[in-house]
Structure 1
Amino acid sequence: LLGESNHASLIPEEGKKKIPGLQGRSAAQSHELLRDFEATLLHMFGLKRRPRPSRAATVPRYLLDLYRLQSGEAEETGAHDIAFEYPERLASRANTVRGFHHEEHMERVHEMDDGETAPLRFLFNLTSIPEDELLSSAELRLYRHQIDEAIADTLSDDQGLHRINVYEVLKPPRPGQLITQLLDTRLVHHNMSRWESFDVSPAVMRWTQERLPNYGLAVEVLHLNQTPRHQGRHVRVSRSLHQEPEEDWEQLRPLLVTFGHDGKGHPLTRRTKRNPKPRGRKRNRNCRRHALYVDFSDVGWT
């Protein structure tokens, strides 16, 4: 932000000219003013130091589209590529939205004592959420992809149905044992591609507000008829289960989204595009200019 010797400034020279109070100051005073401005920004975003984002970092498309909807940009530009509606309920008490990807190097596929494959466990590092930020809700977003060959094999509607279960892991996993609690479930058909959202608010609030141990979430995909040929293949839950290009996987991988309030502003309010004023020859009679005569001698101004 300040334009250090080995880092480019986040404020362009043209922008610096427009900062009130920056012009007419000495170099030391200008530097101090910008440093105070940087400190204010860092405090506002709950950061202790200036971030050094990796060039390989990818912003989830969902967060970008959420911003476009909230700011009204999507309506102004007529964007039709957003496949979800603005989450009024989730954002009604929040002014901060955060996105988290799971720690891939820590994901585990456990085999149960009965030989069945246990749900896939995900660990999300939520330590970056400030202690004074009050979370109101959290969702786990999973992408499921249409299976063309499965559609061809479908003989009845029931054969195309899958159930996706999302659990909270309550205790440290042991070999052959995974103690969980169901958080949300969804019955889906594998004939279409779309994102599914699951409410994981109870678990995330226990981890962040009650400071209980975070043992992660578990996702289970079940076919109603117990036919394993296509079971779970259409739900993008693990890189190892799908041969996705790197750039596609970064946008399709599971995403945990939290909605919170940092106590420093107003909840998110969706900005809508203003309707243009109707044009016509008919003028508003309630607001017009009239020529008036005033005799100043009557008010003692002579």
Structure 2
Amino acid sequence: MLSSGIVMLLVAAMFLPSCTANKSAKEAETYLLNKLGLNRRPRPDRSKIIIPDKMIQMYKAQTGLQLDTNMLVIPGRQNMGSANTIKSYTIEESRSNLLSPKDHYLVHLYFDVKELPERETFQAAELILSRTKLWKAPVKRRNVHVTVSDITQQLTALDESSTISRILDSKMVHAMDNDSISLDIGQAVERWTQNPSENYGLLVKVVAHKKQSRINNIRLKKRDKEGPKNPEWLKEQPIMLLYTDDTKHSISRTKRSAESTNKSKSKHGVRETCRRHNLYVNFEHVGWNDWIVAPPGYDAFFCSGACPSTLSAHHNSTNHAVIQNMMHLINIQIPAPCCVPTELSSISMLYLDEDSKVVLKNYKDMAVIGCGCR
């Protein structure tokens, strides 16, 4: 069946009878969360969490891909391969500071990045800076130069001259544009995931090009009247996106037993032929809608029905299944072929993890496309 029984566990959680022991339900939930890469069930306070627009846009883009796509393409980094997980980080305001140079903006940003779980490998990371719209257009075209640097030694003072850093990425942007800015910070974040104690943060510098008048609509700090939980700031604050590949996300499939498969019967008592049946998994019924942001549910489908004594091409069988079926007719102790999924597709999920981080992940083999006798 699907992903070592992931869908069946979801269905079990939806329809467990009241007489079923709580221990069994808890064990099923723990097993399923582990398969999803979570150590425990997330219980976030949704009222305090703002989903970044960037993550919503990426989720919409992923759900429009082909059904057999199970990896997330890293923007601008296709040569690095792909990732199946994207996690967003917001700045730690208590450890981020606005420095005060005379002729440009300089901000120290800190993201609390920990070591990656053993099952995950680093792929890439980017810093996303939002921009607010300027209502009064300047007479001449204004450009600003944005640079991000990795701070390699502990800050001793809040000034640029005493900061030891290395440039990671830089871009020249038009001041009147309001599109977000993406900067590659992969070298720094990969180092942090290997040695979190060496994470001293990033230095973001914004300079007017050719000493033009200062025009800066890049959101690097809160406005004076904005509180710590201001919705506008929470939506527009700098975010970091970490791209990883979870090598455990691809899980081996298990076959359904011939006994359970051959029990599928029509209303008239005649066994139905192996085919795909409808099955909608509703995350609210499972009780997981508080941490799964999207989708609210999905069409998983399932395979059920009898495999006839004579297998033909439309039964989507393998040569091995045909031979096994012949041997079953000779020796009843040899099991008959089973009705199982022959083609599966992935789904994209946007959810909150144990640390209330917003995560976008593609899970492989979650929905049935085709069934057959195998």
- Using structure 1 for the length normalisation, give the TM-score: 0.66
Q: Which has the higher strand share?
A: 2
Which residue, 93, 103, 107 being the options, matches 2:92? 103
Give the drift of 1:61.
Answer: 1.8
Paired with 1:64 and 1:259, the residues of 2 have a C-alpha distance of 16
Give the drift of 1:196.
Answer: 0.9
Paired with 1:181 and 1:95, the residues of 2 have a C-alpha distance of 29
Tell me whether 1:147 sits opposite 2:140 in the alignment: no
Paired with 2:35 and 2:11, the residues of 1 have a C-alpha distance of 22
Paired with 1:129 and 1:43, the residues of 2 have a C-alpha distance of 16
The one-letter amino acid of 2:20's match is A
Q: Which residue of 1 aligns with 2:254?
A: none
Question: Are 2:151 and 2:201, in contact at CA under 8 Å, matched by a contact in 1?
Answer: yes
Structure 1 unaligned segments of length 5 or more: list them: 1-14, 77-84, 267-286, 288-302
Tell me whether 1:35 sits opposite 2:26 in the alignment: yes
Give a deviation string over 1:277-299, Cα, whole Å, max 9, x none.
xxxxxxxxxx9xxxxxxxxxxxx
Q: 1:92 to 1:118 in 2, by over 3 A?
A: same
Give a deviation string over 1:104-162, Cα, whole Å, max 9, x none.
122112346xx66672111101127424421100010001233233x23x33x3xx010
Paired with 1:127 and 1:212, the residues of 2 have a C-alpha distance of 9
The one-letter amino acid of 2:40's match is R
Give the drift of 1:228.
Answer: 5.2
Paired with 1:163 and 1:116, the residues of 2 have a C-alpha distance of 13
Q: Which residue of 1 aligns with 2:243?
A: 259
Q: Which residue of 2 aligns with 1:87?
A: 75
Paired with 2:57 and 2:24, the residues of 1 have a C-alpha distance of 34
Q: Which residue of 1 aligns with 2:113?
A: 126
Q: Which residue of 2 aligns with 1:4?
A: none
Paired with 1:21 and 1:97, the residues of 2 have a C-alpha distance of 28
Q: Which residue of 2 aligns with 1:187?
A: 172
Give a deviation string over 1:70-108, Cα, whole Å, max 9, x none.
1228x99xxxxxxxx983846942111100001012211
Query: What is the SS of the residue equivalent to 2:243?
Result: strand
The one-letter amino acid of 1:250's match is L
**1:143-222 map, 5 Å:** 143-149=130-136, 151-152=137-138, 154-155=139-140, 157=141, 160-175=142-157, 176=159, 177-209=162-194, 213-222=198-207
Paired with 2:130 and 2:154, the residues of 1 have a C-alpha distance of 27
**1:266-277 map, 5 Å:** none
Structure 2 unaligned segments of length 5 or more: list them: 1-7, 68-72, 251-312, 314-374
Paired with 1:23 and 1:217, the residues of 2 have a C-alpha distance of 50
- Using structure 2 for the length normalisation, give the TM-score: 0.54
Paired with 2:86 and 2:163, the residues of 1 have a C-alpha distance of 31
Query: What is the SS of the residue equivalent to 2:83?
Result: coil
Q: 1:45 to 1:124 in 2, by over 3 A?
A: farther
Paired with 2:95 and 2:186, the residues of 1 have a C-alpha distance of 22
The one-letter amino acid of 1:223's match is A
Query: What is the SS of the residue equivalent to 1:53?
Result: coil
Query: What is the SS of the residue equivalent to 1:235?
Result: coil
Query: What is the SS of the residue equivalent to 2:108?
Result: strand
Q: 1:40 to 1:64 in 2, by over 3 A?
A: farther
The one-letter amino acid of 1:105's match is S
Matched residues, percent identical?
A: 24
Paired with 2:154 and 2:10, the residues of 1 have a C-alpha distance of 56
